[in-house]
Amino acid sequence: MATLGLDVERGMFLGIDFGTTNSVISVYDFKEGDVHTIPIDGSNVFPTAIQFEIDLEDPNKLSRIFGIQAKEAAIIYPESTVLSIKRLLGSGQKIKIQVEDKEYEFEPEQIAGEILGYLKQKADEYVQEELGIAGEFSGCVITVPANSTDKQKKMTKEAAKLAGFDEENIYLRLEPAAAAISYAVNERKNKKVLVYDFGGGTFDACILNIEMDEENEPNISILSTYGDNHLGGNDIDKMMMDLIYEEFKNMTNGEIDLFDLEVDDGVSKRQKKTALVRLQQVATQAKERLSTAKSTKVVLAPFLQEPKMININMEISKEAFLHHKRVNSLGDKPEIVEKMEGKSVEDLIDKTLETVDECLKAAALQESDIDEIFLVGGSSAMPRIHEKIKEKFNKDPFKSKMSPALSISRGAAYYCNMIMMPTVRGPIVHEKTIHPLGLEIAGRRFMEIVEEGLDIPKEGLTIEADELLTTNFDHVTSMAIVVYENTKPSGTEKEKDFVYQEGMKRLAGTSLRGIPAASKGEEKVKVIFHVGQDNMLKVMAKSMSTDGVETELSVDELYE
């Protein structure tokens, strides 16, 4: 058996790709200088799923089932199973589950914490039992989508804390940068690489610059990143579900609405819920089969038993699937329905390519400047994506020997090594600020404080605004501090910036209160921005007069 050179003395760090659909954990082997993916319940890819049950020993307690078993249990117990929790982190939405007529409520980060806790426990057991290493993982690098909000990042950190990792040893890093590391470890040429990551819930595009240093080690920096936090394999599943649901509506003359649990159409709530979960699972399977087959059979027999037996048995071709335009709301929220109605899988793929265009524009690059396209994420397995990328870039995407599902977690494990052993040679990621950050000042103007592309050192980047802010009126005792990010492509003119211009994103706002009442312009306020290596921003504002007051806000606080 392989012996992993994990080093208890230095502490043990786990690299975690916490995905919407699947999670993967890897560790860095100090002896081999290589990364190992830890199998969980017999597989490298762990479905991010949890199911609750009443504890057999104590009926007042809940017990938990994780991963593939939970995912499969969702068919029978949809109301006590939670899938795709990552989508809800930072949303403020509560998770309601029902176990044998009892209702329970959780915060999304609690659910995510339970799942991460299970992954940690499995990793701990693996090193102790399989490798005979005494110790447990106290730290981790968790990857987050490139354009996740600070709130989502904060909640991811919170979940890791709940899972039992030491707070000061939880590091967040960007998914595409992690993917880039796993690409760059074997790379010895200067290159510009597009990371195209199409997962279960999100799409991310990221352009990286890889440059060899004097010691011929790859140095990676992010040139630009764009993403869609609500576009993924789940949405493609819905296209397939829609196609099957149309068949169901034809068979039942539209008399049964599976998505309306309250309407009395002769089908029980329970039957509907079970039918929907089965529909979802069969749709995912059919979709995945169409990545290798021209056509596939979809069989749901029986689909419903009461009030009459409904069997679905249909043949779906790849062409029909790619071009079917969605017509049903499928229980989605109005804003999602609006986004997806009338759209086809082709349209969704085109949408990912529009995001790629934004990313190219922001880096002031053309398609022809890109040397390599690295496909990451389960949904990237669709051959239509390869074709469209080839059409666009005039070259085939990079063919990796490694499964695209594992590269982010492996990159996270390399990151662990970098954090613990900063002197060891290997790929280096230069964390940089992605977009300019600043404040709204008089006349709705944007005052840039942090430039884009600045190196973020280990301890974070602290920048004081060049100018002090002053009060605009006599005797005011508070001042609005409103933080903006300028997401406008860096290649464009920026001579007059106003906060209402396209590309300006309001990140947060607060008021500095308790400023001494004085004449207009007399009171001065100093503003300091701090950007951490995980790209999280903190803003501090301080009144400069003798009994100065201070305020501090992290960007998520007043976001939205």
Ligand X SMILES: Nc1ncnc2c1ncn2[C@@H]1O[C@H](COP(=O)(O)OP(=O)(O)OP(=O)(O)O)[C@@H](O)[C@H]1O
Residues near ligand X (CB under 6 A) are: 19-22, 86, 199-202, 232-234, 284, 287-288, 291, 377-379, 381-382, 405
In the complex, least distance from residue 324 CB atom to ligand X, rounded to whole angstroms: 16
Shorter beta-carbon distance to Mg ion: residue 29 or 197: 197
Shorter beta-carbon distance to ligand X: residue 116 or 483: 116
Q: What amino acid is encoded at 142 in this protein?
A: I
Query: Considering CB distances under 5 to 8 angstroms, the limit depending on partner class, which of ligand X, Mg ion, none binds residue 288?
Result: ligand X
The two three-digit tokens of residue 149, written as one number: 């909000």
Which range binds Mg ion by CB under 5 A, 161-169, 196-204, 294-302, 441-449?
196-204
Which range binds Mg ion by CB under 5 A, 165-173, 192-200, 205-213, 413-421?
192-200
Which range binds Mg ion by CB under 5 A, 163-171, 194-202, 352-360, 538-546?
194-202
In the complex, least distance from residue 70 CB atom to ligand X, rounded to whole angstroms: 14
Query: Considering CB distances under 5 to 8 angstroms, the limit depending on partner class, which of Mg ion, ligand X, none binds residue 378?
Result: ligand X
Query: Considering CB distances under 5 to 8 angstroms, the limit depending on partner class, which of ligand X, Mg ion, none binds residue 201?
Result: ligand X
Shorter beta-carbon distance to ligand X: residue 12 or 144: 144
Spatial distance between the Cα atoms of 147 and 443, rounded to a whole number of angstroms: 29
Residue 541 pairs in a beta bridge with 527, 551
Please write down the HEC assignment for all residues of 318-334: HHHHHHCCCCCCCCCCH
Shorter beta-carbon distance to ligand X: residue 200 or 509: 200
- Work out whether 397 is an interface residue with Mg ion (CB under 5 A): no
234-260 CB burial, b ≥16 within 10 A, e <16: bbbbbbbbbbbbebbbebbeeebbbee
The binder of Mg ion chosen from 4, 12, 19, 373 (CB under 5 A) = 19
Query: Considering CB distances under 5 to 8 angstroms, the limit depending on partner class, which of Mg ion, ligand X, none binds residue 486?
Result: none
Query: Considering CB distances under 5 to 8 angstroms, the limit depending on partner class, which of ligand X, Mg ion, none binds residue 284?
Result: ligand X
In the complex, least distance from residue 21 CB atom to Mg ion, rounded to whole angstroms: 8
In the complex, least distance from residue 408 CB atom to Mg ion, rounded to whole angstroms: 6
Query: Considering CB distances under 5 to 8 angstroms, the limit depending on partner class, which of Mg ion, ligand X, none binds residue 409?
Result: none
Query: Considering CB distances under 5 to 8 angstroms, the limit depending on partner class, which of ligand X, Mg ion, none binds residue 21?
Result: ligand X
Which range binds Mg ion by CB under 5 A, 198-206, 302-310, 424-432, 518-526?
198-206
Instruction: Determine the angle formed by the axes of helices 175-184 and 407-420, rounding to 10 degrees.
Output: 90
* Residue 460 contacts residue 540 (beta carbons within 8 Å): no
In the complex, least distance from residue 318 CB atom to ligand X, rounded to whole angstroms: 11
The two three-digit tokens of residue 94, written as one number: 């509560």
Closest CA to 286 of 235, 237, 329: 237
Shorter beta-carbon distance to ligand X: residue 6 or 405: 405
Shorter beta-carbon distance to Mg ion: residue 193 or 304: 193
In the complex, least distance from residue 557 CB atom to ligand X, rounded to whole angstroms: 25
Shorter beta-carbon distance to ligand X: residue 3 or 43: 43
Query: Considering CB distances under 5 to 8 angstroms, the limit depending on partner class, which of ligand X, Mg ion, none binds residue 224?
Result: none
307 prior amide bond cis, ω within 30? yes
Shorter beta-carbon distance to Mg ion: residue 78 or 232: 232
The binder of Mg ion chosen from 108, 199, 411, 427 (CB under 5 A) = 199
Virtual torsion, Cα 52, 56, 62, 63, nearest 10 deg: -60
Contacts of 297 (CB under 8 A, 6+ apart): 313, 314, 315, 316
In the complex, least distance from residue 153 CB atom to Mg ion, rounded to whole angstroms: 15
Shorter beta-carbon distance to Mg ion: residue 382 or 439: 382
Query: Considering CB distances under 5 to 8 angstroms, the limit depending on partner class, which of Mg ion, ligand X, none binds residue 510?
Result: none
The two three-digit tokens of residue 447, written as one number: 């005052």
In the complex, least distance from residue 484 CB atom to Mg ion, rounded to whole angstroms: 29
In the complex, least distance from residue 118 CB atom to ligand X, rounded to whole angstroms: 16
How far is residue 107 CA from its own chain's centroid?
18
In the complex, least distance from residue 408 CB atom to ligand X, rounded to whole angstroms: 7
Query: Considering CB distances under 5 to 8 angstroms, the limit depending on partner class, which of ligand X, Mg ion, none binds residue 169?
Result: none
493-532 CB burial, b ≥16 within 10 A, e <16: eeeebebeeeebeebbbbbbeebeeeeeeebbbbbebbbb
Shorter beta-carbon distance to ligand X: residue 412 or 515: 412
* Helix (H) / strand (E) containing 161: helix 150-162
Shorter beta-carbon distance to Mg ion: residue 379 or 543: 379
The two three-digit tokens of residue 219, written as one number: 């140095």
Please write down the HEC assignment for all residues of 55-110: CCCCCCCEEEEEHHHHHHHCCCCHHHEEECHHHHCCCCCCEEEEECCEEEEECHHH
In the complex, least distance from residue 196 CB atom to Mg ion, rounded to whole angstroms: 12
Closest CA to 284 of 415, 402, 379: 379
Residue ranges with strand state E in 153-230 = 170-174, 191-198, 203-212, 218-228
In the complex, least distance from residue 288 CB atom to ligand X, rounded to whole angstroms: 4
Q: What amino acid is encoded at 64 in this protein?
A: R
Neighbours of 84 (CB within 10 A): 15
Shorter beta-carbon distance to ligand X: residue 85 or 267: 85
Specify the DSSP class assigned to residue 128. Answer: I
Q: What amino acid is encoded at 510 in this protein?
A: T
- CA angle in degrees (0–180, nearest 5) for 389-392-397: 35
Residues that bind Mg ion (CB under 5 A): 19, 199
